[in-house]
């Protein structure tokens, strides 16, 4: 019985591992030192990672108002912040969309949405769309888990929140939670890269 269980586990891990051997073309890779940013929050204040002297790291989520995948993940993003802020990994949300390219994603819309949903984390504007290309984000939502190491911000996980973006009731693997749990335990995340599922980031062509 035990051997069957073990070989089943090994096969499953192998299948999952092969499904994850895709790398983004550009932007940060896991292990890179991510640049800090200074972006305006919906309350008018400027926010940088450097403001969080107590944090052990960050859950950076590129997300927006208008994408149905982002909306479907809002409650999960709030839950991540509630669970991990106190443990040293707060959520920082960044809206990468150009509000000129899509209706519903400007600062005023973001304020309304954050208030409606009761966002417990900063919701920043990627003004001029400088930050998301640097990180290599392509989707909303697109998550980067970052671990602070001295003055460095090391990228530890890139991808999706979990394995069921459209249906929270069908989630079997919580990629971000697992990654942060491992980091909190002083270990490396087991899964470091997944496909971010969502809408393309909107730019004026």
Partner 1 sequence: MRNFLFFLCLILILSSCKNEHVEVKKTATTNQTFIEVTLEDIPTVNYEGLEPIFNKKDDKTYVINFWATWCLPCVKELPYFERINQEYKDVEVILVSLDFPKQKEKRLISFVNKKKIQSQVIHFDDFNEQVWIPKIDKNWSGAIPATIIYNKNKRKFYEQSFTEEELQKEVQSFLKS
Q: Give me the residues that bind partner 1 (CB under 8 A), please.
A: 5, 8-9, 12, 15-16, 19-20, 22, 68, 72, 138-139, 160, 163-167, 170-173, 194-200
Burial class of residue 103 in the structure, from the number of CB atoms within 10 Å of its CB (0-12 exposed, 13-18 middle, 19+ buried): exposed
Q: To the nearest whole angstrom, how small is the minimum distance from the Cβ of residue 159 to partner 1?
A: 8
Q: To the nearest whole angstrom, how small is the minimum distance from the Cβ of residue 66 to partner 1?
A: 9
Using CA of residue 43, residue 129, residue 56, residue 192, what is the dihedral sign? positive
Q: To the nearest whole angstrom, how small is the minimum distance from the Cβ of residue 93 to partner 1?
A: 20
Phi-psi region of 150 (alpha: psi -120 to 50; beta: other; left: phi over 0): left
Q: Measured from the CB atom, is 36 or 103 closer to partner 1?
A: 103
Q: Measured from the CB atom, is 142 or 148 closer to partner 1?
A: 142
| Contact predicate 158/62, CB 8 Å | no
Q: Measured from the CB atom, is 47 or 197 closer to partner 1?
A: 197
Spatial separation of the C-alpha atoms in residues 5 and 78, rounded to whole Å: 36
Q: Measured from the CB atom, is 124 or 160 closer to partner 1?
A: 160
Q: To the nearest whole angstrom, how small is the minimum distance from the Cβ of residue 187 to partner 1?
A: 17
Q: How far apart, in Å, are the Cα atoms of 161 and each of 16, 129, 166?
A: 16, 22, 11
Q: Measured from the CB atom, is 57 or 99 closer to partner 1?
A: 99
Candidates 141, 110, 112, 135; CA nearest to 124 is: 110
Q: To the nearest whole angstrom, how small is the minimum distance from the Cβ of residue 108 to partner 1?
A: 21
């Amino acid at each position: 019985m035990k051997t069957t269980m073990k070989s089943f586990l090994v096969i499953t891990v192998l299948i999952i591992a092969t499904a994850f051997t895709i790398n983004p073309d550009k932007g940060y890779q896991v292990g890179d030192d991510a640049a800090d940013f200074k972006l305006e929050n919906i309350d008018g204040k400027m926010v940088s990672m450097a403001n969080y002297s107590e944090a052990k790291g960050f859950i950076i989520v590129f997300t927006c108002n208008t994408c149905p995948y982002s909306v479907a993940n809002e409650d999960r993003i709030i839950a991540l912040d509630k669970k991990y802020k106190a443990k040293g990994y707060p959520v920082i949300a960044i809206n990468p969309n150009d509000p000129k390219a899509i209706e519903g994603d400007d600062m005023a819309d973001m304020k309304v949405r954050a208030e409606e949903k009761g966002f417990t984390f900063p919701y920043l504007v990627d003004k001029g769309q400088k930050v998301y290309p640097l990180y290599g984000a392509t989707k909303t939502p697109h998550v980067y888990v970052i671990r602070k190491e001295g003055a460095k911000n090391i990228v530890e996980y890139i991808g999706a929140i979990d394995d069921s973006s459209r249906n929270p009731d069908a989630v079997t693997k919580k990629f971000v939670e697992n990654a942060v749990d491992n980091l909190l335990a002083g270990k490396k995340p087991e899964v470091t890269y997944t496909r971010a599922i969502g809408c393309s980031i909107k730019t004026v062509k």
